A = this chain, B = another copy of it.
Amino acid sequence: MFLKNKIQLTLATLLVIVSSCKAQTKETSNAKKINNQEHPSLILTKGGVEKIKAQLGTVPLFDETLAKVKAEVDAEILNGIEVPIPKDYSGGYTHERHKKNFLILQKAGVLYQILDDEKYAKYVKDMLLEYAKIYPTLPIHPQTRSYARGKLFWQSLNDSNWLVYVSQAYDCVYNYLTEKEHNLLEKDLFRPFAKYISVDNPKFFNRVHNHATWGNAAVGMIALVMDDDKLLETALHGLKKDNIDPNEKDDDGAFIKKKGQKVGFLANLEEPFSPDGYFTEGPYYQRYAMYPFLVFSEALQNVKPELKILEYKDAVLLKSINTLLNLTDADGNFFPLNDGQKGMSYYSRELVSAVDIGYYFGGKQTDLLSIAKDQGEVLLDDTGLSVAMGIRDGLETPFVKKSINLSDGKNGDEGGVAILRAEGSKEELTLVLKYTAQGSSHGHYDKLSFSYYEGGNEVIQDYGMARFVNIQQKGGGNYLKENTTWAKQTIAHNTINQNETSDFNGNFEIGNLNHSDKYLFDVSNPNIQVISATEVNAYPGTELHRTMALIKAANFENPYLLDIYKINSKTENQYDLPYYYLGQLMSTNFKYTKPDELKPLGTKSGYQHLWVEGEGKSDSGLAKISWFNKERFYSLTSVVSNKDDLIFTRIGAHDPDFNLRNDPGFMIRKKNSKDSYFVSLLESHGHYDPVNEIATNAFSNIKNLNIVFNNDDYIAISIKTENGNTSMFLFSFNDNSKTSKHQIKIEDKTYDWIGVYQLTEINK
């Protein structure tokens, strides 16, 4: 996608290149050290700096970013250097101070290069010397929660963050420092630092995991600055020895490292990314990992271009930038799949890096410039300069997010995520259907779950994670226990829960072996976009098949969402399908009672966290609820039987520390059922203007919704609107060919169609 001439690079090829490169290095290293060892060379380059200097004052976005960074660093220099003895968790003073230090050090290094002002180099030098003073005698961090405690921070992960940034600072001031200072810093700080996060923490370093990616990049970056190919080799391919017990598991029940598993930076690049550039942990962690992936790759590209790291695995890294930008709502916020904190967006510094690097190295796609323009800042390096110049020259084109299917898994054959997008009368309607693999340790048990957006508003929410990142009051800013007991559980998601037990019985090891499968992704007709996927392992003996269609139809103000959930089971079960709507309930078409006292819905698997706010049943065959949120109306119309329980829930039971958000939900429960269908239609409609106090189109347009035909192979659903129009949605469950012919008879009328689905207007 990014490179015109894609080069297939296998791991084997790379190893050969790296080896030959090492051989060369041995021969020429002395000569190179004397003649060619340039600094800076990792992110800023000598040539790049010259170019930047030549352009200063002529590239507004670059100049603005530079001024902002200068003001920030100048204020810190005035504030003075603080290198406290580590003691706090994230959110606490020492944590936040060391975090700020590495961010400022990197920026100060850049300012020294661009502005030629020695005060910045001196600041970096002085602070590094402070670190070099304390590091040799620093004990392991006193806070004990992590499986791999750091020294500056409570986890080696944060220490690695530090080194990824500080390596860049060291590179920038390298030539300012004396030989003696180099020796001191490397002996007392950088080498033991790199050793600590690798050799001393093999379970952290020798894994395929976002933690290890940071560790690998950190060691690799400092190796590049120090021109240490042996250390670089460790970064790329991991430690040769680690003594990790192949049976050892982490807190999530995942093996730390399977026997014979490849580790190191290249393996981390190989395994978690699908060929579509989807990172298996989900967008929040993809964003987090993007920085070390890209910044180390940029450094490798600059220092070791012969590695062609950016072409690795069909240029997956560059591809993944585009993927990540697609995993956002209209406001640029990432969909909070798996563990993800809401509010994280493409305005994060990691995405500024990603967009700039992607533009510069990925063929200068002009649509990235419009994202960069929104971000309002650029990297202060060659890539950022190139972006800022592109914007200055008016080259940007809109970044259009289309409906897209993203495969999961190293080879793209472990399910995926589908995003369907359709323009609405006010904003875009966006469906996210998740049918991925487990998503590693940050994965949720949410097979075939969905979330739904109108512009940047959540209509049906994914809860995200139960964590307040870096807010110390809340469990030190770390994962809260409710993340396990609630946020990861199946019932916390908008999908089927069987028998009040989560997918795979909540067993990570089993979950990690399985994935859902795509049945159909078809967006060829912009008026009827369909995603359909199956899950046959989450509940042994039960097959789940969910089909969601985003349909633009006449008589509807906005596209509507049709949700068809087919369940086949060998046994009788209870099926619960919740919809976590946001907003205030306006009306229902059925009677319900609200209890005088609230009790939890269940005792485990997340059910213990749900208050039952109301219960009802519908005799009409339909359950319709309407709600109101952010000045808009929504209606969910569901086909139900008079035996189905209709339950209103609110999150927050058994939450002793007020860690959960008290959000509402609506649940349809079918008891003692084997094969079942859940069919619902979700509308966004109307508007309320609180200044003029006028409500428009405040009612659902659906008069009736019926399953008029169903057998193992087909379903037919009739949709009748208030003005009497009827349409029929036909779907084939067992033949996903787009060319097969189908025929069914409903009440003496024959319906023929080609392909998996059809939407037909019924003339009456």
A contacts, CB < 8 Å to B: 91, 96, 99, 341-345, 347-349, 468-474, 477, 584-587, 593-594, 596-600, 611, 613-614, 626, 628, 648, 650, 652-656, 658, 661-662, 664, 688, 690-695, 698-699
Instruction: Return the chain B residue nearest A474 by Cβ.
Output: B586
* Nearest-Cβ distance from residue A631 to partner chain B, whole angstroms: 8
- Are A695 and B598 in contact, CB atoms less than 8 angstroms apart? no
Contact of A693 among B469, B650, B656, B698 (CB under 8 A): B469
A655 partner residues in chain B, CB cutoff 8 A: 594
A695 partner residues in chain B, CB cutoff 8 A: 91, 96, 470-472, 477
- Are A587 and B691 in contact, CB atoms less than 8 angstroms apart? no
- Are A342 and B584 in contact, CB atoms less than 8 angstroms apart? no
Contact of A690 among B344, B477, B662, B664 (CB under 8 A): B344
- Are A690 and B341 in contact, CB atoms less than 8 angstroms apart? yes
Show 20 residue pairs from A and B whose CB-CB distance is below 8 angstroms, ordered by the A residue: A96-B694, A343-B691, A344-B691, A348-B691, A348-B692, A468-B586, A468-B628, A470-B695, A471-B586, A471-B695, A472-B695, A472-B698, A477-B695, A584-B658, A594-B656, A597-B597, A597-B600, A598-B598, A598-B611, A662-B662
Nearest 7 pairs of A and B residues by beta carbon: A343-B690, A598-B598, A585-B658, A473-B587, A473-B586, A469-B693, A471-B695
- Are A597 and B599 in contact, CB atoms less than 8 angstroms apart? yes
**Given A473-B699, A596-B654, 6 further pairs, Cβ under 8 A:** A345-B691, A471-B698, A474-B587, A584-B658, A596-B600, A662-B664
Q: In the bound complex, how far is the Cα of B585 from the Cα of A661, in angstroms?
A: 10
Contact of A91 among B341, B661, B698 (CB under 8 A): B698
A656 partner residues in chain B, CB cutoff 8 A: 593-594
Instruction: Return the chain B residue nearest A650 by Cβ.
Output: B662
A585 partner residues in chain B, CB cutoff 8 A: 658
* Nearest-Cβ distance from residue A723 to partner chain B, whole angstroms: 14
Instruction: Return the chain B residue nearest A469 by Cβ.
Output: B693
Instruction: Return the chain B residue nearest A627 by Cβ.
Output: B658
Q: In the bound complex, how far is the Cα of B656 from the Cα of A473, in angstroms?
A: 36
- Are B91 and A690 in contact, CB atoms less than 8 angstroms apart? no
A468 partner residues in chain B, CB cutoff 8 A: 586, 628
Q: In the bound complex, how far is the Cα of B392 from the Cα of A173, in angstroms?
A: 55
Q: In the bound complex, how far is the Cα of B692 from the Cα of A349, in angstroms?
A: 7
Instruction: Return the chain B residue nearest A696 by Cβ.
Output: B96
A664 partner residues in chain B, CB cutoff 8 A: 662
* Nearest-Cβ distance from residue A458 to partner chain B, whole angstroms: 15
A343 partner residues in chain B, CB cutoff 8 A: 690-691
Q: In the bound complex, how far is the Cα of B594 from the Cα of A661, in angstroms?
A: 15
A596 partner residues in chain B, CB cutoff 8 A: 599-600, 653-654
Q: In the bound complex, how far is the Cα of B596 from the Cα of A655, in angstroms?
A: 9
Q: In the bound complex, how far is the Cα of B345 from the Cα of A361, in angstroms?
A: 50
Q: In the bound complex, how far is the Cα of B29 from the Cα of A30, in angstroms?
A: 113
* Nearest-Cβ distance from residue A669 to partner chain B, whole angstroms: 19
Instruction: Return the chain B residue nearest A91 by Cβ.
Output: B695
A474 partner residues in chain B, CB cutoff 8 A: 586-587
* Nearest-Cβ distance from residue A486 to partner chain B, whole angstroms: 15
Q: In the bound complex, how far is the Cα of B181 from the Cα of A603, in angstroms?
A: 75
Q: In the bound complex, how far is the Cα of B96 from the Cα of A41, in angstroms?
A: 69
Q: In the bound complex, how far is the Cα of B686 from the Cα of A91, in angstroms?
A: 12
- Are A342 and B654 in contact, CB atoms less than 8 angstroms apart? no
Contact of A661 among B99, B584, B597, B688 (CB under 8 A): B584
Q: In the bound complex, how far is the Cα of B626 from the Cα of A471, in angstroms?
A: 12
* Nearest-Cβ distance from residue A53 to partner chain B, whole angstroms: 29
Q: In the bound complex, how far is the Cα of B99 from the Cα of A541, in angstroms?
A: 59
* Nearest-Cβ distance from residue A182 to partner chain B, whole angstroms: 32
Of A598, A613, A614, A626, most B-chain CB atoms within 10 Å: A598
Instruction: Return the chain B residue nearest A587 by Cβ.
Output: B473
A586 partner residues in chain B, CB cutoff 8 A: 468, 471, 473-474, 658
Instruction: Return the chain B residue nearest A655 by Cβ.
Output: B594
* Nearest-Cβ distance from residue A153 to partner chain B, whole angstroms: 14
A611 partner residues in chain B, CB cutoff 8 A: 598
- Are B600 and A688 in contact, CB atoms less than 8 angstroms apart? no
Instruction: Return the chain B residue nearest A99 by Cβ.
Output: B694
Instruction: Return the chain B residue nearest A342 by Cβ.
Output: B690
Q: In the bound complex, how far is the Cα of B650 from the Cα of A596, in angstroms?
A: 14
Q: In the bound complex, how far is the Cα of B690 from the Cα of A345, in angstroms?
A: 9
- Are A473 and B698 in contact, CB atoms less than 8 angstroms apart? yes
Instruction: Return the chain B residue nearest A656 by Cβ.
Output: B594
Instruction: Return the chain B residue nearest A652 by Cβ.
Output: B613
* Nearest-Cβ distance from residue A266 to partner chain B, whole angstroms: 29
A653 partner residues in chain B, CB cutoff 8 A: 596
Q: In the bound complex, how far is the Cα of B650 from the Cα of A650, in angstroms?
A: 12
Contact of A341 among B348, B648, B693 (CB under 8 A): B693
A473 partner residues in chain B, CB cutoff 8 A: 586-587, 626, 698-699
* Nearest-Cβ distance from residue A451 to partner chain B, whole angstroms: 18
Q: In the bound complex, how far is the Cα of B608 from the Cα of A597, in angstroms?
A: 11
Of A471, A472, A584, most B-chain CB atoms within 10 Å: A471
* Nearest-Cβ distance from residue A106 to partner chain B, whole angstroms: 14
Q: In the bound complex, how far is the Cα of B477 from the Cα of A547, in angstroms?
A: 37
Q: In the bound complex, how far is the Cα of B341 from the Cα of A594, in angstroms?
A: 26
* Nearest-Cβ distance from residue A583 to partner chain B, whole angstroms: 10
A648 partner residues in chain B, CB cutoff 8 A: 658
A662 partner residues in chain B, CB cutoff 8 A: 650, 662, 664
* Nearest-Cβ distance from residue A606 to partner chain B, whole angstroms: 16
A654 partner residues in chain B, CB cutoff 8 A: 594, 596
* Nearest-Cβ distance from residue A610 to partner chain B, whole angstroms: 12
A99 partner residues in chain B, CB cutoff 8 A: 694
Instruction: Return the chain B residue nearest A608 by Cβ.
Output: B596
Instruction: Return the chain B residue nearest A661 by Cβ.
Output: B584
Q: In the bound complex, how far is the Cα of B468 from the Cα of A471, in angstroms?
A: 36
* Nearest-Cβ distance from residue A694 to partner chain B, whole angstroms: 6
Instruction: Return the chain B residue nearest A614 by Cβ.
Output: B658
* Nearest-Cβ distance from residue A570 to partner chain B, whole angstroms: 36
Q: In the bound complex, how far is the Cα of B693 from the Cα of A698, in angstroms?
A: 38
Q: In the bound complex, how far is the Cα of B688 from the Cα of A600, in angstroms?
A: 32
A694 partner residues in chain B, CB cutoff 8 A: 96, 99, 470
Q: In the bound complex, how far is the Cα of B699 from the Cα of A586, in angstroms?
A: 38
Q: In the bound complex, how far is the Cα of B652 from the Cα of A598, in angstroms?
A: 11
Q: In the bound complex, how far is the Cα of B664 from the Cα of A648, in angstroms?
A: 19
A600 partner residues in chain B, CB cutoff 8 A: 596-597
A349 partner residues in chain B, CB cutoff 8 A: 692
A658 partner residues in chain B, CB cutoff 8 A: 584-586, 614, 648
Instruction: Return the chain B residue nearest A471 by Cβ.
Output: B695
A597 partner residues in chain B, CB cutoff 8 A: 597-600
- Are A471 and B341 in contact, CB atoms less than 8 angstroms apart? no
Of A96, A586, A611, A661, most B-chain CB atoms within 10 Å: A586
Instruction: Return the chain B residue nearest A626 by Cβ.
Output: B473
Instruction: Return the chain B residue nearest A348 by Cβ.
Output: B691
A661 partner residues in chain B, CB cutoff 8 A: 584
Q: In the bound complex, how far is the Cα of B695 from the Cα of A96, in angstroms?
A: 9
Q: In the bound complex, how far is the Cα of B691 from the Cα of A344, in angstroms?
A: 5
Instruction: Return the chain B residue nearest A594 by Cβ.
Output: B656
